[in-house]
Amino acid sequence: MEIHHRVVVGSRVNEDQAAGAIQERHWREQYREAGQCPTLTAPVLKGTGESKPKPASTASRATTAIAALILALCAAGLSGCVLKLATTVEAPAPLTLDAFLSDDSPCYDRSAQPQTSVIDSHVHFRPFGGPTIPFGQMVQYLQETGVLFANIYGIGQTLPVTSSCTYYLDCPGTPVTPSLKNDFVNAANYVTAAQSGVHLTLAMTFPDLAEPETILPGIELLETEYPGLFQWMGEVNLVKQALFDNGHTPVSPATISEWAPFMEVLRDRGFPFAVHSDLGSEDAPTLYLPLMEEVLRQYPDNVIVWVHMGLSRELTTMDAARHVELMTALLERYPNLMLDIAWRVLDDAYFSTPDGLAAYVPFLNTHSERILPGTDFLASHDKSLDIYRTELEVTSRINRYLDDDAFRDIALGQNYFRLLGLDYEAPPICP
């Protein structure tokens, strides 16, 4: 078996050291499996395409490191190595929204342009509590990292304003509840803050799914104050184990049947419903599956986005093939189900392992029209542009393994445009 890897050394793929280590692990493992040296092509980009260029030495160091790795592999006594390094090419200009509005946009060259997603369908512009990254600064983070499309999520779990906590896990016993406050703040910022060069979609994050009778009045209130602005609902919580110490309990199946009035409004509006529903725990990986199945069974005509594919920090060791089998069955049974692959936990625990890659790459390629990418970044004041950039890079690592159709659907946003009926079209991928 021969493996041909294309290694891209450019601005957005100069990842942190951990990312490099994981990538190297992939090569080593696949190389070991194949029993021969991989063929590598590593163009070195001249420009960076980013507004804050990284020093040229970064690319050189990365190239040198790759060369050293390959030479080490070859020195191990195996034959068949072909190495083409340091072919200097011009970096294409970064994409702008215009590239998604024109019929004759240049094709997207995956060997020279970023592998990071241009869409972040899951980013929280509000923190759990405490000071926030200002709205305008969050928009700048998107602009600086090449993200052109984003959903503005509030947050489904807010700490009391009297609490000094910024993270609920640090304060067990402090109740966290959804609130309209964040949706109002996001809407107010959306209409006043500058947001040139990016397309933003406002999401309602206030619903407490355990109190369905409060949801329609909340929708009406937001739509009265900000008519036509909100286009999405989520991220809302069906069951989230991380919140159990803060007063959250799983929503009961009986309560799910009381959602009908607001789910009907979402259907009429064409709003996707993005729900956090833990699949289970390490000891019982599918413990909460019946809850999600209940939602899908009762509301098959709603577009439902299952965030993180049900995975979480409480479920990092599930057998990847089993998870993929389960997701495949649900996608086939429920044509309006979408899966969100946001949050670095998915890459850290699943996509970056050999078993995970073997299971998820074919799955994502086959079902690419049902997948949405995102960072799950949270705008608390202790975060920074560098952290956003890292989270975008980590959650985009899987992109480089996707085939061209899947890359266009997921990373270049084609699914997102289709889902929301947006007047954008992802550029074709260069042959």
Which residues lie near Zn ion (CB under 5 A)? 235, 376
Nearer to Zn ion, 7 or 305 (CB): 305
- How far apart (Å, rounded) are the C-alpha atoms in residues 236 and 275? 5
CB of residue 274 vs Zn ion: minimum separation in angstroms? 9
CB of residue 128 vs Zn ion: minimum separation in angstroms? 11
Token pair, residue 12, equals: 């957005």
Nearer to Zn ion, 37 or 339 (CB): 339
Nearer to Zn ion, 275 or 303 (CB): 275
CB of residue 134 vs Zn ion: minimum separation in angstroms? 20
CB of residue 378 vs Zn ion: minimum separation in angstroms? 7
Nearer to Zn ion, 126 or 199 (CB): 126
Among 188, 201, 168, 194, which Cα is nearest to 269's?
A: 201
**168 near 160, Cβ under 8 Å?**
no
Q: How many CB atoms lie within 10 A of CB 183?
A: 28
- How far apart (Å, rounded) are the C-alpha atoms in residues 384 and 397? 20
Nearer to Zn ion, 242 or 358 (CB): 242
Place of tokens 């699949």: 279
DSSP run (H or E) holding 382: none
CB of residue 105 vs Zn ion: minimum separation in angstroms? 31
CB of residue 5 vs Zn ion: minimum separation in angstroms? 32
- How far apart (Å, rounded) are the C-alpha atoms in residues 176 and 244? 10
CB of residue 261 vs Zn ion: minimum separation in angstroms? 25
Nearer to Zn ion, 305 or 411 (CB): 305
3-state secondary structure of 371: strand
Nearer to Zn ion, 308 or 400 (CB): 308
CB of residue 307 vs Zn ion: minimum separation in angstroms? 6
Verify cis geometry, omega within 30 degrees of 0, for the bond prior to 235: yes
376, HSE (Cβ side, Cα atoms, 13 Å):
19
85 CA to centre of own chain = 32
Which DSSP string do the residues of 103-161 spell out, in sequence order? TTPPPB-TTTS--S-SEEEEEESS-SSS-B--HHHHHHHHHHTT--EEEEE--S-B--T
Among 249, 265, 337, 268, which Cα is nearest to 297's?
A: 337
Nearer to Zn ion, 10 or 234 (CB): 234
